């Protein structure tokens, strides 16, 4: 997969190298937490978060990030998965390839979702991120949480 993505394999946020920690310290203006459980929202089995303004409808959530230019996220971090479950995500990129199995951002298409293991961070320039619902986890409901790191 092209587009300049760096996928950090099995490193938690406390184990970042100098390059990664410096980039996060100087190229961010905060973060947003996105959580998904095993329930559908109406007929949708996924939720889509957008970095810009808009009206929340059905499974679409708009996070109006203050910015004097196009708002975006620079990273997606699987930071709160219960029971070490991977998080299924897709992301629309502003530069380079979209984060999906075939490069096409299509939240309605289940086979396009990629898995991010707990602790991993995917870097890029994303303005929209979709996350699938978790497995049912009966009798315990699983909740996946990703940290969307804002860019400047």
CA separation for the pair 56, 44 (Å, rounded): 14
* pLDDT of the residue at 134: 84
Pairing of strands 87-93, 114-116: antiparallel
pLDDT tens-digit readout, 45-80: 999 999 999 999 999 999 988 777 889 999 999 987
Poorest-confidence range of 8-17, 84-93, 94-103?
8-17
Q: What is the percent of the chain where pLDDT is above 70?
A: 76
Decide: 125 and 72 in contact? Cβ < 8 Å: yes
> Is pLDDT at 10 greater than 60 in this prediction?
no
- Are the CB atoms for 128 and 116 separated by under 8 Å? no
Distance (Å, rounded) from C-alpha 85 to C-alpha 4? 26
- For range 106-135, the mean pLDDT: 92
- Which three-class secondary structure string do you get for the chain? CCCCCCECCCCCHHHCCHHHHHHHHHCEEEEEEEEECCCCECCECEEEEECCCCCCECCEEECCCCCCCCCCEEEEEECCCHHHCCEEEEEEECCCCCECCCCCCCCCCHHHCEEECCCCEEEEEEEEEEEECCCCCCCCCCCEEEEEEEEC
């Amino acid at each position: 997969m092209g587009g300049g993505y760096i996928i950090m394999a099995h490193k938690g946020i406390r184990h970042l190298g100098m390059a990664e920690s410096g980039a996060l310290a100087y190229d961010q203006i905060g973060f947003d937490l996105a959580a998904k459980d095993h329930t559908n929202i109406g007929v949708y089995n996924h939720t889509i978060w957008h970095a810009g303004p808009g009206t929340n409808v059905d499974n679409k959530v708009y996070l109006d990030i203050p910015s004097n230019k196009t708002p975006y996220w620079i990273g997606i971090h699987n930071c709160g998965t219960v029971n070490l479950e991977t998080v299924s995500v897709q992301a629309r990129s502003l530069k380079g390839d979209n984060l999906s199995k075939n490069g096409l951002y299509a939240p309605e298409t289940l086979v396009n979702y990629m898995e991010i293991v707990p602790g991993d961070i995917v870097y890029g320039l994303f303005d929209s991120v979709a996350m699938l619902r978790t497995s049912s986890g009966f009798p315990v409901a699983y909740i996946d949480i990703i940290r969307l790191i804002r860019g400047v």
